Amino acid sequence: MLNLEEIKKILPHRYPFLLVDRVLEIRAGEYCQALKNISGNEAVFQGHFPQKAVFPGVMIIEALAQTAGIVIDSGKDETESGSIVFFAGINNAKFRVPVVPGDQLILETTLSNQRRNFWVFEGKASVAGKLAAQAEIKLMLQPT
């Protein structure tokens, strides 16, 4: 389990774009389950949508990508330290239920394929046990 300060040591993102609040479970190089608390104070709700706030699907995808980045970091060897993880693509994104302020978004990413510096994950986001979104997330590890 990782808290926010430990996550900040792994991910380069910061407010308002750091979208992982806590890591609940991690299996190095394979899987991560994380949590994002959806607050009514999120900057994105000023425009999406002022009358009925809905957390944007693109932000859910980014949260899944950040969760997958934590998996990659957990499996890095010494030759990869200092490398940066970049978003490389997405397939089969589906959004099932709206995510709104007050929700706890559970993010799960499972490694499905890895070749050289390209990684593919199956990502799922759920709220109260209901699948909210899913996608295949592609990431690339880039040396600095």
Question: Does residue 13 carry a catalytic annotation?
Answer: no
Catalytic residue among 8, 48, 76, 96: 48
31/71 Cα distance (integer angstroms):
6
142/82 Cα distance (integer angstroms):
9
| C-beta separation of 123 from 135 below 8 A | yes
The greatest distance separating any two alpha carbons of the chain, rounded to the nearest whole angstrom, comes to: 50
Q: Which residues are catalytic?
A: 48
